[in-house]
Structures are given as structure tokens and as C-alpha cells.
Amino acid sequence: MSLSVASSTTAAATKVSAQRKVRPKLALKRVLLYVSLWVAFVWSVFPFYWMIATSLRAKADIFRRPPSIVPQGITLQNYVDLLVSAHFWRFAMNSLILTLSVTLISVFISVTAGYAMARHRFKGSVMLPLFMLYGQMFPPVLLLIPFYVQLRYLGWLDSLYGLIPVYLSYMLPLCVWLMRGFFSQVPHSLEDAARMDGCTRWQAFWKVILPMAQPGIVAVATWVMIHSWNEFLYASTFILSEKNRTLPLGLSKLIGQYTTDWGVLMAGGVVTAAPIVLVFFFLQKHLVAGVGGGAVKG
């Protein structure tokens, strides 16, 4: 009995010593892991921090040389300057109207198309989705010139509603493709059950399938919103007058030929980025669930 106890304690002792031998190596690995995580974190977040820090500095502090990493004092003056300038609200309104209309149109149109492609067999039901994916890859520079000429011809140049079809050109194809993916995850049997219970095709789609596919729809809508809100190339080419500028365009025009008010510019950057960052972090789970396809229990 005592012998067995002794042997078990020696066994435990050798085990402990073996762990001791391993431990420094493990600890070193752990330290290395956290050091590299922190390096990646600082590298990723620092420009974001720098934007916010600059926006909260007084003018003298911004142009102090050498620059200090931590602001000397915090002031909201840059935000006040930005928000009282009449144009800022105009730009924000323009961005909002444009984003909402593009989102509504592309979601409505891609919902029906995506559903039909996922559910029904018809001529082109195989080729069409692939074609949509191709449409997404067309380089904007090739579309730019035909759009310019077309909008000029229609007299839609320099107008917000002229930008709507342009934005649809690079949103819609991928929307349809994504929607098709979400609808194909909704089980067939559900629709069949609804039809057996007497729903017409449309009712089954509207009352049964759409609610099931809702996470996917939210994901696609968010994706469109983020991209229309951020779009710069088309807006900067087709919008000529100041009153029709969107937020990213208005922001870029704050860069002066000789001097730039970086405090106000960075404040504008914070205000432009804020809705996107908020939407992303609030919907993160939802978006991942929608994209990951875990939204529907099959």
C-alpha cells in the first residue's frame, strides 16, 4: 500500500518535472503569440485612432512639429466647424437619399430574381446566375465612359437620380447571386406544405419563403448600403456641382491645393465612417449568420 503510494507520488513528481521542462517553451510561445497579436492590432487600428485623435485636436496642436501621439487637449471645435457649414448636411442628405433608393431598388429586384433562379427550372436558369457573377467583375473603368456619354445624352449628368442606375450596375448582379444562394437554402418542403394548405404561388413566396430568407435579405441589404454609402469613383466623375455631392466626394474636396484643414477633414471622416462602423458592429453576428448560411435550419 505504502509502496504503491510512493510509486504514484514519484510518478506525479516525474510528470511535474516533465511539465516544468515543457513550460518555458510553452510560455515563450504564448508570449510570442500575444506579441504578434498586439502588433497586428496596433497596425490595424492605429490609422483609425489617428483619424479620431486628429479630429479632436486644436489647430495649433495638429500642426505642431514634431507631432505627439496623444493629443495635448481635446476640443470639439473641428466637429462644430464641420456641422455648421451648410454643405455638410446637404452632402449627408444626398448620400442618404442615394443609398436608400439604391438599396430599396436592388433588394426588391434581386429578391424575386434570386428566388426564381433558386426554385424554378426555366430556360437560362443555369446560365443566368453565372452571368450575374460575371457582371460583377466588369471593371468600372470600362463602364465609366459609356455611362458618361449616356447620362450626358439623357441630361442626367450632375444629378442624384442619374447615379441610381449607375450604382445598380455594380450592385445588382452580386445581389441576385447572393439572394439565389440564400433562397436555395430554404427547404423545398416548406413551400410545398404551404401550397398544400392552399397558398397560391405568390402567397407561399410572400408569407412563407420571404420570412425564412430574411437574414439573407438583411445581409444583402446591408452590403448594398455600405457600398453605396462609400462609393467614390462614379460620384466624383458624374457629379459636377457642389450641391449634389455625396459625403465621400465632399470629403475629398476638402483637400486644398495648398493648405488643407486636416482637423475638419478628419472630423468629416469620423462622421462618414461612423454609420458604417456602427452598422457593422451591431449586425456583425447577423451578417456572418446570413453569409455563412446558418440562417436556415434545413
- Considering only residues 181 to 200 of the shown chain, the ones binding other proteins according to CB under 8 A are 198, 200
* Closer by beta carbon to other proteins, 7 or else 200: 200
| CB closer to other proteins, 12 vs 105 | 105
Q: How far is the CB of 201 from other proteins (least distance, A)?
A: 5
Given 15, 23, 188, 201, the residue binding other proteins (CB under 8 A): 201
What is the Cα–Cα distance from 191 to 206, expressed in whole angstroms?
11
Nearest to 182 by CA among 131, 238, 114: 114
Question: How many residues belong to the site for other proteins (CB under 8 A)?
Answer: 86
Asked whether position 207 contacts other proteins by CB under 8 A, the answer is no
In the complex with other proteins, which residue's Cβ is closer, 6 or 286?
Answer: 286
The residue among 107, 111, 103, 106 whose CA lies nearest residue 182 is 111
Shortest distance, position 148 Cβ to other proteins, whole Å: 8
According to DSSP, residue 68 is labeled -
Q: Between residues 5 and 146, which has the closer beta carbon with respect to other proteins?
A: 146
**Least Å from the CB of residue 145 to other proteins:** 5
- Report the residue number, 11 or 105, with the smaller CB distance to other proteins: 105
DSSP letters, 161-211, are: HHHHHHHHHHHHHHHHHHHHHHHHHS-HHHHHHHHHTT--HHHIIIIIIHH
Contact set for other proteins, span 95-124 (CB under 8 A): 109-110, 112-113, 115-117, 119-122
The closest alpha carbon to 268, from 279, 260, 280, 257, belongs to 260
Window 235 to 264, contacts with other proteins (CB under 8 A): 237, 248, 251-252, 255, 262
From the list 155, 186, 142, the residue with the least C-alpha distance to 290 is 186
Nearer to other proteins, 6 or 207 (CB): 207
How far apart, in whole angstroms, are the C-alpha atoms of residue 103 and residue 217?
Answer: 11
d(CA 115, CA 112): 5
Contact between 28 and other proteins per CB under 8 A: no
Whether omega for the bond prior to residue 139 falls within 30 degrees of 0, making it cis, is no
| Residue carrying the nine cell digits 447620362 | 151
Whether 128 contacts 172, CB under 8 Å: no
For other proteins, the binding residue among 132, 209, 224, 239 (CB under 8 A) is 132
**Between 173 and 290, CB nearer to other proteins:** 173
Q: Does 220 bind other proteins (CB under 8 A)?
A: no
Q: Which of 58, 81, 165, 218 binds other proteins (CB under 8 A)?
A: 165
Minimum distance of other proteins from residue 54's CB (angstroms): 7
Chain-centre distance for alpha carbon 54: 24
DSSP H or E stretch at residue 53: helix 2-55
- Does an H or E element contain 40, and which? helix 2-55
Binding range to other proteins, per CB under 8 A, among 10-18, 81-89, 138-146, 210-218: 138-146
Q: Is 27 in the site for other proteins (CB under 8 A)?
A: no
Q: Which of residues 39-98 bind other proteins (CB under 8 A)?
A: 40-41, 43-45, 47-48, 50-51, 54, 62-67, 69
Cα–Cα distance, 150 to 84 (Å, whole number): 37
